[in-house]
């Protein structure tokens, strides 16, 4: 079967843009003509106005949430790296923790958040810990399977060059895992903001989650939507950062992509 | 007292003495294999798929320890000690994350040389190995033949004068394969390398080697492989297309007859 020709760049940008604009126009019209009452669903124009009015406040809360998410993500990556290394080095460790890690992922974040607040208080710590808990799994799994994906013949070849265990890790295993690591990191980055917000819902004095709880209680749904938009922007921003890091960290990927496109 | 030259003529560059190898310690894969490669000689060990060729290669490279027998490098016992002979497979095994020059320099860097020093040492060989201009390319940007030449340069820079090759060029397309084989024999002679090529491809064996060992057996059916014969290949001097000569066909016939 012949594959479809690649859509042009203009089409790739225009098609989703038109779809979003059309949705916004329909939404605005439905609220404006009164099909949906504005207290149930604020019109996009109201949301934009709320965004503008509360901009300084939103910025303040966003910075706190972003800080917690970044700290938690860094912690999750560090912990994930340590776990993946141990799983790669010791088969028993892998066998012992692999099922536990899978099970831990079936526990909903929202269920453990209150416990963390109970144990760790209302400060930043339970938020950071929750983000660590949610982001560490994708990083660990992607890294562990990335390390395992190394060609055993490459390892043999390096052994004939008298390579040490550390050299085999650095030159063969680590680069072999880079692709999967960044895929995992991208997922973790999206979890990070959401994780921080969920933890903030359950207690605290500052952060986007706290802001959301407050505006929800005062029925300011336009402000609630404004905070949702901010959460999306922050998550997309983090994902973009991961992509940039990947591009910088894996320069050989571009050569491979160019070859495939040729 | 003998001079170094006379000594080299007597002592093989690489020899396996009565190698018996097994995968699990019980199931014998190859039994009592004795082969030797003279200094500057290219030999082949040919046998059907699954007869234990790669097992022998691993043992010769020191990656595994034989049940019995020894591996000697210039007379020195190197049984079970990796890092003494260089080693090249059908897959080029270039690291996709390193530029060609850094792939080629890998053995030098692993031995503790600084990167810029290693690059400087490797650079002069690019011309001779047909890789000029591709120093800073990524492996994915090179053709199969060039990648294999880069792999060979990396093997050469390991600094061992004995090289083991496991079906080195069989993944290449037919024309490139013939070209690269001839090129390899030329470069090996020029650099004074001794090589043992392990292959199932009779043509590869005859076109590269001066002597061919034939290995046969069915280890999977409980019948360990042995060396069942040795064929000398004579290369008519000055002949460009060795593959079309009577000598080539004669050697090929002998090997095929032994393989059955």
> Looking at residue B244, which CATH number applies to its domain?
3.40.50.300
Average pLDDT (B40-49) is 91
Average pLDDT (B171-185) is 82
Number of domains in chain B: 2
Average pLDDT (A14-43) is 89
**Identity of the residue in A160, A171, A256 whose CB atom sits nearest the CB atom of B63:** A160
pLDDT in tens, B91-118: 889 999 999 999 999 999 999 999 999 9
CB contact under 8 Å between B61 and A167, yes or no, is: no
Q: Is residue B14 domain-resident?
A: no
Residue A232 reports pLDDT greater than 70: yes
Q: How confident is the model at residue B169 (pLDDT cuts 50, 70, 90)?
A: confident
B175 and B220 in a common domain = yes
Least-confidence region, from A186-190, B16-20, B175-179: B175-179
Average pLDDT (A2-21) is 84
Domain termination site, one of B107, B141, B159: B159
B147 and B174 in a common domain = no
**Identity of the residue in A176, A250, A259 whose CB atom sits nearest the CB atom of B140:** A259
B106 touches chain A (CB under 8 A): yes
B118 and B195 in a common domain = no
What residues have CB less than 8 Å from B220, skipping those under 6 apart?
A: B50
Per cent of chain A over pLDDT 70 is 98
Q: Is residue B197 domain-resident?
A: yes
Closest CA of chain B from A258, distance in Å: 9
B257 and B175 in a common domain = yes
SS (H, E, C) chain B: CCCHHHHHHHCCCEEEEEEEEECCCCCEEEEEEEEEECCCCEEEEEECCCCCHHHHHHHHCCCCCCCEEEEEECCEECCCCCCCCEEECCCCCCCCCCCHHHHHCHHHHHCCCCHHHHHHHHCCHHHHCCCCCCCCCCHHHCCHHHHHHHHHHHHHHCCCCEEEEECCCCCCCHHHHHHHHHHHHHHHHHHCCEEEEEECCHHHHHHHCCEEEEEEEEHHHCEEEEEEEEEECCCCCCCCCHHHCHHHHHHHHHHHHHHC
Tell me the β-bridge partners of B44. B197, B212
Distance CA A169, CA A166 (A): 5
pLDDT in tens, A127-173: 999 999 889 888 998 999 999 999 998 998 898 888 999 999 999 99
**What local confidence, expressed as pLDDT, does residue A161 receive?**
86
Closest CA of chain B from A11, distance in Å: 30
**What local confidence, expressed as pLDDT, does residue A262 receive?**
57
B245 and B200 in a common domain = yes
Q: For residue B114, give its domain range.
A: 93-159
Residue B155 reports pLDDT greater than 80: yes
How far lies A255's CA from each of A134, A149, A259, A261, B137, in Å?
34, 21, 6, 10, 9
H helix or E strand, kind and range, residue A246 = helix A221-249
CB contact under 8 Å between B89 and A153, yes or no, is: yes
Residues of B with CB below 8 A from A176's CB?
A: 97
A32 touches chain B (CB under 8 A): no
Q: What is the pairing mode between strands B68-73 and B76-77?
A: antiparallel
**Which of A88-92, A168-172, A200-204, B87-91 tops mean pLDDT?**
A168-172
B149 and B169 in a common domain = no
B170 and B44 in a common domain = yes
A259 touches chain B (CB under 8 A): yes
**What local confidence, expressed as pLDDT, does residue A2 receive?**
54
Residue of A nearest to B80 (CA): A160
CB contact under 8 Å between B89 and A256, yes or no, is: no
**What local confidence, expressed as pLDDT, does residue A41 receive?**
86
Suggest the residue from A153, A154, A156, A161 to mutate for an interface test with chain B (most B CBs closer than 10 A): A161
Neighbours of A59 (CB within 10 A): 10
Q: How confident is the model at residue A106 (pLDDT cuts 50, 70, 90)?
A: confident
**What local confidence, expressed as pLDDT, does residue B3 receive?**
43
B143 and B252 in a common domain = no
Residue B257 reports pLDDT greater than 70: yes
Closest CA of chain B from A194, distance in Å: 34
Residue A123 reports pLDDT greater than 90: no
Residues of B with CB below 8 A from A154's CB?
A: 93, 95
Q: Is residue B26 domain-resident?
A: no
Mean pLDDT over the full length of chain B: 87
Query: What CATH code is assigned to A54-261?
Result: 1.10.3720.10
Residues of A with CB below 8 A from B83's CB?
A: 159-162
Q: Is residue B73 domain-resident?
A: no
CB contact under 8 Å between A156 and B63, yes or no, is: yes
**What local confidence, expressed as pLDDT, does residue A81 receive?**
93
Closest CA of chain A from B160, distance in Å: 10
Q: Where are the domains of chain A?
A: 54-261
B168 and B54 in a common domain = yes
Residue of B nearest to A168 (CA): B110
B131 and B243 in a common domain = no
Suggest the residue from B96, B99, B159 to mutate for an interface test with chain A (most A CBs closer than 10 A): B96
Domain termination site, one of B139, B159, B179: B159
Tell me the β-bridge partners of B30. B21, B225
Q: Is residue B139 domain-resident?
A: yes
**What local confidence, expressed as pLDDT, does residue B243 receive?**
80
Closest CA of chain A from B79, distance in Å: 13
- CB burial of residue A42 (10 Å; 0-12, 13-18, 19+): buried
CB contact under 8 Å between B93 and A153, yes or no, is: yes
Average pLDDT (A70-79) is 95
CB contact under 8 Å between B141 and A255, yes or no, is: yes
Query: What is the C-alpha end-to-end distance of chain B, expressed in Å?
Result: 46
Mean pLDDT over the full length of chain A: 89
Q: What pTM was computed for the model?
A: 0.78
Per cent of chain B over pLDDT 90 is 41
Residue A258 reports pLDDT greater than 80: no
pLDDT in tens, B203-250: 889 988 999 999 998 888 888 999 999 999 988 776 667 888 888 899
Residue B189 reports pLDDT greater than 90: no
**What local confidence, expressed as pLDDT, does residue A256 receive?**
79
Least-confidence region, from A99-108, A197-206, A213-222, B64-73: A99-108
Greatest CA separation for chain A: 76
Average pLDDT (B137-144) is 90
B151 and B126 in a common domain = yes
Q: Is residue B29 domain-resident?
A: no
**Identity of the residue in A157, A161, A252 whose CB atom sits nearest the CB atom of B138:** A252
**What local confidence, expressed as pLDDT, does residue B4 receive?**
45
Domain termination site, one of B159, B174, B207: B159
B235 and B183 in a common domain = yes
**What local confidence, expressed as pLDDT, does residue B9 receive?**
55
A59 touches chain B (CB under 8 A): no
């Amino acid at each position: 079967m012949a594959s479809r020709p690649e859509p042009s760049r203009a089409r790739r940008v225009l098609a989703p843009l038109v779809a979003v604009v059309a949705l916004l126009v329909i939404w605005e019209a439905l609220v404006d003509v009164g099909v949906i009452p504005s207290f149930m669903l604020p019109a996009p124009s109201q949301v934009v106005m709320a965004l503008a009015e509360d901009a300084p406040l939103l910025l303040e809360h966003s910075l706190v949430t972003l800080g917690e998410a970044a700290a938690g993500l860094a912690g999750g990556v560090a912990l994930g790296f340590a776990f993946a290394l141990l799983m790669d080095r010791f088969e028993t460790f892998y066998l012992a923790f692999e099922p536990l890690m899978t099970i831990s992922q079936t526990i909903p974040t929202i269920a453990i958040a209150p416990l963390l607040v109970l144990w760790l208080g209302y400060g930043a710590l339970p938020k950071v810990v929750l983000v660590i808990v949610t982001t560490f799994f994708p990083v660990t799994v992607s890294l562990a399977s990335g390390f395992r994906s190394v060609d055993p013949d490459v390892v043999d070849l390096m052994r004939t060059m008298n390579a040490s265990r550390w050299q085999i890790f650095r030159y063969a295993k680590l680069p072999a895992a880079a692709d999967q690591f960044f895929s995992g990191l991208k997922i973790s980055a999206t979890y990070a903001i959401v994780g921080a917000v969920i933890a903030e819902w359950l207690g605290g004095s500052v952060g986007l989650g706290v802001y959301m709880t407050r505006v929800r209680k005062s029925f300011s749904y336009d402000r609630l939507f404004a905070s949702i938009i901010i959460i999306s922007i922050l998550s997309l921003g983090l994902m973009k950062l991961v992509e940039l890091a990947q591009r910088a960290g894996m320069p050989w990927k571009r050569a491979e992509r160019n070859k495939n496109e040729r | 007292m003998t001079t170094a030259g006379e000594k080299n003529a007597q002592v093989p560059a690489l020899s396996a003495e009565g190698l018996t190898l097994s995968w699990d310690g019980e199931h014998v894969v190859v039994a009592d294999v004795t082969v030797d490669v003279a200094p500057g000689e290219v030999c082949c060990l040919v046998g059907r798929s699954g007869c234990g060729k790669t097992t022998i290669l691993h043992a010769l490279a020191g990656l595994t320890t034989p049940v019995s027998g020894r591996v000697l490098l210039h007379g020195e016992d190197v049984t079970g000690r990796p890092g003494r002979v260089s080693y090249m497979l059908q897959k080029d095994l270039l690291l996709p994350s390193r530029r060609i020059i850094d792939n080629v320099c890998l053995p030098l860097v692993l031995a503790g040389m600084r990167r810029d020093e290693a690059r400087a040492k490797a650079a002069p060989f690019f011309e001779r190995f047909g890789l000029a201009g591709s120093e800073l390319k990524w492996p994915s940007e090179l053709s199969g033949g060039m990648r294999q030449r880069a792999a060979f340069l990396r093997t050469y820079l390991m600094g061992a004068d004995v090289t083991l090759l496991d079906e080195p060029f069989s993944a290449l397309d037919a024309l490139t394969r013939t070209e690269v084989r001839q090129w390899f024999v030329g470069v090996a002679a020029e650099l004074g390398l001794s090589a043992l090529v392990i292959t199932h491809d009779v043509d590869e064996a005859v076109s590269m080697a001066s002597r061919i060992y034939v290995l046969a057996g069915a280890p999977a059916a409980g019948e360990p492989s042995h060396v069942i014969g040795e064929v000398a290949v004579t290369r008519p001097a000055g002949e460009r297309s060795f593959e079309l000569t009577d000598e080539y066909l004669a050697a090929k016939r002998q090997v095929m007859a032994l393989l059955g």
